[in-house]
Amino acid sequence: VHHLPTADDPSASGLLASLTSKDDGDTRVWDEALLSVYASVGLKSGCGVPLRFGGRVRGVLVLGFTPGRRDSLADAEFTRSVAYRISMALEHDRLLGQAQRAVAARDRALSTVSHDLRSPLSTIQICADALLDPEPAPLSGIREMGALIGKSVTWMRQIVEDLLDRASLDAGTLALHRQSTCVKDLFGASRELFAPMATEHSIDLVLHEDADLPSVNADPHRLLQVLANLIGNAIKFTPDGGRVELLAQAVEDDLTATLLTGKRGSAVRFTVSDTGLGIATADLTHIFERYWQSPTDHNKGAGLGLAIAKGLIEAHGRQLNVESVVGSGSSFWFTIPVTNGDVLQHYGNGATV
């Protein structure tokens, strides 16, 4: 048994470089490299055929001939046909792995969603049973049940809408209705949505926007959805007594546009930060994946919130960023361009231009 040179062997380096290059490589390099491979195992000549799968050359099948053997055209044909079969088998294996991973992700999603829908459904069932009780509860109890049913339905609708949003983001069919959007109105709506939850958990909810911020070019409903997801998470993962901040600042995020138009301050930067649990560095790469939740997270949710928020910001042509320190808190931020023609009058430090 002869061992071919390993990757770090100089005699194989030319062949390797040729294999990993974008095209099929320089045939001269191939020839030289193959000759050195034959020489290294005491062969006279041979054929080398690349093995391609997954759209790339991943290896090479070499048929070498001993000095006494005469090579012929049939040998090259034979090598090519074996290489083709090997490539097909490897490609099948790759596609099968891909399909198995997709099925596993779908099963995981289905089980997460069914699990999430189970609790509001059982709340509705309990309320329905109580309402059908031959000795019904007093009127105030019935109203409470009505409120519980309402809350459960809102929760279930949210899960279904999240699934639909993520599916249309994936399919690229989510329609954004961009318009001149007032930051002050977004802040008003966020305060209204989250002040009760913050008070309930004794969390200091601070909203601060720079003075005279221009309107931004965004879909107001979708932008509020992103802010709501980030603020909701911040409150959820911050222990009682902590602090959650929503900031909007004027920034210059596009220097080229600034130079071309002479206008300064082309975007508004939104930041949601908290003094909560923080996110482990290893988890930072996963939090934007759909259906991902930290293994230590026992909160409700399908793990879709951040995946949708990221998709929505990307649909606006920007990126959702995060920084976090375990035990100190997390900070999520993104920028949105100002409405065309709107120029910032003030900057972060309050200086007027």
Q: Which residues bind ligand ADP (CB under 6 A)?
A: 229, 233-234, 237, 274, 276-277, 279, 287, 292-294, 297, 301-307, 330
- Using the minimum distance from each CB to ligand ADP, give the nearer residue, 49 or 313: 313
Strands 216-218, 179-181: pairing is: antiparallel
We find the least distance from the C-beta atom of residue 108 to ligand ADP, in angstroms, to be: 13
- Using the minimum distance from each CB to ligand ADP, give the nearer residue, 57 or 277: 277
Amino acid at 162: D
Residue 274 tokens, joined: 């908290």
We find the least distance from the C-beta atom of residue 225 to ligand ADP, in angstroms, to be: 12
- Using the minimum distance from each CB to ligand ADP, give the nearer residue, 87 or 293: 293
- Using the minimum distance from each CB to ligand ADP, give the nearer residue, 190 or 293: 293
- Using the minimum distance from each CB to ligand ADP, give the nearer residue, 217 or 330: 330
Query: Angle CA(46)–CA(28)–CA(63) in degrees, nearest 5?
Result: 15
We find the least distance from the C-beta atom of residue 235 to ligand ADP, in angstroms, to be: 9
- Using the minimum distance from each CB to ligand ADP, give the nearer residue, 85 or 300: 300
What one-character DSSP code corresponds to residue 83?
Answer: H
Distance between CA atoms of 116 and 247, rounded to whole angstroms? 32
What one-character DSSP code corresponds to residue 134?
Answer: S
Among the listed residues 168, 314, 316, 329, the one whose alpha carbon sits nearest the alpha carbon of residue 233: 329
Tokens 């993104």 sit on residue: 334
We find the least distance from the C-beta atom of residue 199 to ligand ADP, in angstroms, to be: 19
Residues contacting 282, CB < 8 A, separation 6+: none
Give the nearest residue (CB) to ligand ADP.
Answer: 301
We find the least distance from the C-beta atom of residue 148 to ligand ADP, in angstroms, to be: 21
We find the least distance from the C-beta atom of residue 287 to ligand ADP, in angstroms, to be: 4
Is residue 250 classed exposed, middle or buried when 0-12, 13-18 and 19+ CB atoms within 10 A define those classes?
A: buried
We find the least distance from the C-beta atom of residue 5 to ligand ADP, in angstroms, to be: 47
Listing DSSP states for 90-109 in one string gives HHHHHHHHHHHHHHHHHHHH
Q: Are 290 and 306 in contact (CB under 8 A)?
A: no
Tokens 């080229």 sit on residue: 256
- Strand boundaries in the chain, DSSP class E: 45-53, 56-65, 179-181, 204-209, 216-218, 243-251, 267-274, 321-325, 329-337
- Using the minimum distance from each CB to ligand ADP, give the nearer residue, 251 or 287: 287
